[in-house]
Amino acid sequence: MPLHPHILLCLALALIAAGAPAAETAAPSRYEYRPASRDGIGKFYLGREIAHVMGHQAAEWLERSEREEEERPSLAIAALKLKPGDVVADIGCGTGYFSWRMAKLVGAKGRVYGVEIQQEMLDLLAANMKQRGVSNVVGVLGTIADPKLPPRSVDLVLMVDVYHEFDHPFEMMRGVCAALKPGGRVAFVEYRGEDPTVPIKPLHKMTEAQVRKEMGAQPLDWVETIRTLPRQHIIVFRRK
């Protein structure tokens, strides 16, 4: 004898109340949210609070005359061992301080993608490249979760003092890895979080251990950590 529809509804509700498995279960978030500190956004990834993004209004700081003396970016670029014909992505490229220097090394057959999430920064990049006569730097407008790079196209991804500001670090790095050629490299240049004498706000520094911890969630192998710079370390990974 068929059950009355009302009885069927009551049975269904009883199963739900007793803990019957739902058809869909919400996936746990990769991120935690807590009250924000002065320099952070209140969003945490693997125990680290994400820092505020530096806006285009501070672009002049990237081009300050004392940068070479303070940070030795020329040593950082030399450590990357770029070759003519390489394709490089400079993520968080800003005004192109590193972009045009790398463009000279990869030559006419190479390319540098300058990736930014702020159109104002890309406008500054384009103006600087035009002024310098550099034609192999291509501006790319990414998003907070996707660098918008062509798949399997890049030999090296460089991120200079920018990863700690990624609002969606896992998703951004997933996009970075998708853009790498097999065996392609990722280089993080970050102020040393282990060193309290480095005169940078704590959330804008990263320890080697934290970078390696976070990259453990990506298809990357650690290659080396270069410690020749005065204030930063260069932490290099390779695409599996």
Tell me: pLDDT of 25 over 70.
no
- Tell me if 172 is assigned to some domain: yes
Domain of residue 218: give its range: 61-239
Amino acid at 98: F
- Tell me if 46 is assigned to some domain: no
- Tell me if 17 is assigned to some domain: no
Chain segment 178-226, per-residue pLDDT in tens: 999 999 999 999 999 999 999 999 999 999 999 999 999 999 999 999 9
- pLDDT class for 86, splitting at 50, 70, 90? very high
- Tell me if 174 is assigned to some domain: yes
Instruction: Please choose, from the candidates 12, 49, 14, the residue with its C-alpha nearest in 3D space to the C-alpha of residue 34.
Output: 49
What pLDDT score does 58 carry?
66
Which residues, 6+ apart, have CB-to-CB distance to 170 below 8 Å?
30, 45, 214, 217, 218
Tell me: pLDDT of 106 over 60.
yes
- Tell me if 178 is assigned to some domain: yes
d(C-alpha 141, C-alpha 160), whole Å? 17
CA 157 vs. chain centroid, Å, equals 9
CA 206 vs. chain centroid, Å, equals 13
- pLDDT class for 108, splitting at 50, 70, 90? very high
What pLDDT score does 16 carry?
37
Q: How many domains does one find in the chain?
A: 1
- Tell me if 74 is assigned to some domain: yes
Which residues, 6+ apart, have CB-to-CB distance to 16 below 8 Å?
22
Q: Percent of the chain having pLDDT more than 90?
A: 83
Chain segment 135-163, per-residue pLDDT in tens: 999 999 999 999 999 999 999 999 999 99
CATH number (domain holding residue 143): 3.40.50.150
Tell me: pLDDT of 1 over 70.
no
Chain segment 46-66, per-residue pLDDT in tens: 999 999 997 666 677 787 889
Q: pTM (2 decimals)?
A: 0.86
What pLDDT score does 156 carry?
98
Q: Percent of the chain having pLDDT more than 70?
A: 87
- Tell me if 216 is assigned to some domain: yes
- Tell me if 168 is assigned to some domain: yes
- pLDDT class for 21, splitting at 50, 70, 90? very low
As a residue count, the chain comes to 240
